[in-house]
Amino acid sequence: MKKKNIQFSVTTEMVMRGTYWILMKFNADKFHRGLDSAKRDKFGGYLERWMNKIFENQFFETFLNNYEKKYLVINDELIYKDKKKKTAPDVLGLETEGELIPFGIYKEKWEHFKEMPKIEIKTFRKDHNIATTNATQTADYYIFLETDLDDDYLKTIFDKSFYENKNYEKIFKNWEKLKEKFGESSNLFKEISKPENKLKNYTVKLLSIMTHNEWVKLSKISKGSTKKKGEKQTASEKPFYFVDIEVNDHKNHYARKNTILFTNFTLGMKNLEDLNFFDQKIKEEEKKFLMPVFKNVDDQNSNGLIANITGSSNSSIYFSIDKNFKINSKEYDKGKYKLSFKKFDRTANFDEHCALKDNVVLFDEREKLIEHFDSIISKNIKVN
């Protein structure tokens, strides 16, 4: 069953309101203020790090309107004195007919009520390949959003005076003087367009709403770096993630174990759904692969495929298969193929669940969340 396209445009008002809230948080954030000057962000960097927060209200409004719901979601817009004690999920409750239905209560820490859903919202750029969640940040539902925004989208918060011709004319006049002495360099732009207060890309869309069990089943844990007495002991795990598949019709492709990537790698029949290889040479490290979702065309109940692994290189795996198959719903004929991978260059000091962002779309269970909300509203009406 095809899902509704839940998408909305990012407006100037939305960005302005979000920027205002982030500035309030910036001014109150004692943890941020306590950092030494070498580590501390100015407001510009802080703003960019928190900007995804501004999309949450509009997402839920758009989402619930698409299902013709009259109730509202209460997002966590509280500002905390100590972010380490911020233990509430991203959604604090529902509102119906002016009445708040909380999902929990703050005492010394957040206490979540039984049967109320814990919801976390994760937003990723369109050019991101990997979806991640902190392994310690568990929820009943994970909402995955994707932003398609111009890199300079924050320019919309400037008023009209910023874009007046006088600014451009002053700069252009100065360039004219400088060109007399320095204008012959091939490294200089001869023309630069004036900034305009408009965007080409300015949308946010829902990718998927996944339950905890489905997300844990789909993703793989990538361990964070460890330190001892302030010194790094082990680096963060960097899994390899799928980027492309192509027909491998070259006779002289790699057909050997690669001594750099797969010291303990054995060729032969493997399940393409769960490719993990144990490497004895590189400190007994396990090589992890974030794979696309494979399915047999003839057997819709199977989530894995057995193929003959015929070789590998530093970033590729070669295989042959004697049956048709699907990758993320796209069908491929039986034959010989090459899978290409890139290393996910992460530096986190905490464990993360990781999966291909394209995969989460295949496990969308948004209806379960709507049903859960409806049930809460119905029970609350009966009680009152």
pLDDT at residue 304, rounded to an integer: 67
pLDDT for 10 equals 93
| Cα 289 to Cα 85, 160, 275, 277, 331, distances in angstroms | 34, 49, 6, 9, 21
pLDDT for position 61: 96
Strands 141-149 and 119-125: parallel
75, part of any domain = yes
Q: How many CB atoms sit inside 10 A of residue 171's CB? A: 11
Check: pTM over 0.85? Answer yes or no: yes
**Which pLDDT does position 31 carry in this prediction?**
64
Note whether residue 257 is domain-resident. Answer: yes
Residue 270 lies in a domain: yes
Pairwise CA distance, residues 223 & 348, whole Å? 8
Q: What is the pLDDT of residue 214?
A: 96
Q: 190 and 211 share a domain?
A: no
Residues of the chain with pLDDT under 50: 35-37, 256-261, 280, 383-384
- Chain mean position to CA 378: 33
Which residue do the tokens 């100065």 mark?
Answer: 174
Query: Do 329 and 204 fall within a single domain?
Result: no
Same domain for 107 and 246, yes or no, is no
User: Are 264 and 368 members of one domain?
Assistant: no
Asked, for residue 291, whether it belongs to a domain, the answer is yes
Asked if 206 and 96 sit in the same domain, the reply is yes
Domains in the chain: how many in total? Answer: 3
Q: What DSSP element (H or E) covers 104?
A: strand 104-106
Please give the residue range of the domain that contains residue 178.
Answer: 161-196
Question: Residue 161 has which token pair?
Answer: 């005076």
Query: d(Cα 204, Cα 9) in Å, to the nearest integer?
Result: 6
Does residue 348 lie within any of the structural domains? no
What is the pLDDT at residue 257?
Answer: 47
Is 176 in the same domain as 255?
A: no
Residue 106 shares a structural domain with residue 13:
yes
In this structure, is residue 355 part of a structural domain? Answer: no
Are 189 and 287 within one domain?
no
Q: Are residues 94 and 212 in the same domain?
A: yes
Query: In terms of domains, do 244 and 339 share one?
Result: yes
Tell me, yes or no, whether 232 lies in a domain: no
Does some domain include residue 1?
no
pLDDT at position 103: 96
| CB distance 367 to 3 below 8 Å | no
Note the pLDDT of residue 347: 87
144 and 183 part of one domain: no
Check residue 340 and give its pLDDT.
93
In this structure, the answer to whether residues 281 and 310 fall within a common structural domain is: yes
The values of phi and psi at residue 287, to 5°, are -85, 125
